[in-house]
Amino acid sequence: MSTIAHLINGELVQQAGRSTPVFNPSLGKPVREVPLADQDIIRAAIASAKAAFPAWRKTPPAKRAQVMFRFKQLLEANRDKIAQLISEEHGKTLEDAVGELQRGIENVEYACGVPELLKGEYNRNVGPNIDSWSDFQPLGVVAGITPFNFPAMIPMWMFGVAIAVGNTFVLKPSERDPSVPVRLAELMLEAGAPNGVLNVVHGDKTAVDAILTHPLVHAVSFVGSSDIAHYVYQTGAANHKRVQAMGGAKNHGIVLPDADMDQVIKDLSGAAYGSAGERCMALPVVVPVGKKTADELRERMVAEIPTMRVGVSTDAGAHYGPVVTAQHRDRIAGWIEKGVQEGAELVVDGRDFSLQGHEKGYFIGPSLFDHVKPGMSSYQEEIFGPVLQIVRAETFEEALALPSNHQYGNGVAIFTQNGRAARDFAARVNVGMVGINVPIPVPVAYHTFGGWKRSAFGDINQHGMEGVRFWTKTKTVTARWPDSELEHADSSFVIPTMR
């Protein structure tokens, strides 16, 4: 069984000591080993990034953009092989893996425009012979800590813009599917990034804490569960770092009586069960308004679920594959049992699903609950699996209040043909990202991604122009050039003004 290496200063680095197996979820068996970094490994990666920073920050933005262009081309040339790696270690279908990679490539495309993104502001004659300008400058060594569910896309959300604007980067990906992040770093080197600009280290809490407390790391971006996001935010901020920490979600889909139910069922099937529900922007809660709407939705979903095909990640006909680990499969099953104990009606039970020939794989079938109540813990907490919960509402206002009052505020969708209702909902709902007849409203690369409430800690979003601001600091210069050496201003003991 092969061992995955760290990538530090342009070299693959093996490490003795602690390690953990990497599983193929479709087979239910380990396929690789990944080392768990100690503090020495983390310090070496940070030192490598520190050494690379002075030259990289001085590299003209146009030349950094050329590296990103070549990186984009290499990603496209290696698309199929990268997708296979994603599927092998994560379990998502190849089609889904290709889609994930494409969203990552779109963020790299955005970073290719870095010369334009870094253009500052300039004003001439803000005072007598005084000009003022501001520009964006890189922070230095920065870091990203990324989750298992998007091993390609989320790292590129982070390091694409961070490196393009002149920082050097230390990436700590999930130890559950670590091969793809290493491959991305190798392609960055092939694209022309100097050694040390992008380093990849594997590990658990020991590695995370070493990053969060190291004085040379100036900013940290994180995506994961809310409890850990809160910890990352608090620890990083206490150690004087800029932090953006994206947490969990419990996204709602509001279905008004006038919605196109054919489209709603298709959208719910993909948004609730796609990628086995292992998406922070999945749609695990549907809120039909009115009994007639709820009864029809339930009947249609009960008929739709048997048509879903659960299969191995390489099955071109599968709608979704296994979940990432046996422990996570058991956790999902535990939440289903909790929902039953709390009094929700389990309409479809996916816990007994088994895939012939792959009985050891981490598969779980689609489940459907009805009559879920807001006070239930299975509603309040993130299940992160192929489970859809129906929470019935009598009125529009009641439906609006459910996502607005929930502890998470990542995404929400409304399905309706009424533009006035959709406009009112989008303006009033207390959630960070809203879809109108769009079930998974993940913003495109040139907009920004970020939730509210316990879905995000920190006040700057990921990627887009918010990402540029997160990975840079603004410097403002005010300069005076007198017309001649004889021109002098009188001494002033009051605050200067431009009047």
Q: Measured between alpha carbons, how far is 324 from 313 in angstroms, rounded to an integer?
A: 11
DSSP characters over 66-114:
HHHHHHHHHHHHTHHHHHHHHHHHH---HHHHHHHHHHHHHHHHHHTTH
Residue segments in the chain with a per-residue pLDDT below the cut of 50:
none
Catalytic residue among 94, 200, 280, 297: 280
Q: Which fold has domain 252-436?
A: Aldehyde Dehydrogenase; Chain A, domain 2 (3.40.309)
Tokens of 459: 């006040």
Class of domain 2-247+455-477: alpha beta
Strand, coil or helix: 402:
helix
Going from N- to C-terminal start, the domains of the chain cover 2-247+455-477, 252-436
Specify the pLDDT at position 492: 65
Q: Measured between alpha carbons, how far is 372 from 198 in angstroms, rounded to an integer?
A: 46
Specify the pLDDT at position 496: 67
What burial class does residue 419 get, using C-beta atoms within 10 Å of its C-beta: 0-12 exposed, 13-18 middle, 19+ buried?
exposed
Q: Are 42 and 58 in contact (CB under 8 A)?
A: no
Report the candidate in 168, 201, 189 with the shortest Cα–Cα distance to residue 58: 168
pTM: 0.94
Q: Are 452 and 407 in contact (CB under 8 A)?
A: no
DSSP characters over 313-350:
TT-TT-SB---S-HHHHHHHHHHHHHHHHTT-EEEE--
Tokens of 91: 């379990």
For residue 55, give the DSSP letter.
H
Catalytic, 280? Answer yes
Q: Measured between alpha carbons, how far is 134 from 262 in angstroms, rounded to an integer?
A: 52
Return the ∠ at Cα 107 (arms to 105 and 109), rounded to 5°: 70
Termini Cα distance of the chain: 73
For residue 415, how far is the Cα from the chain centroid?
Answer: 24
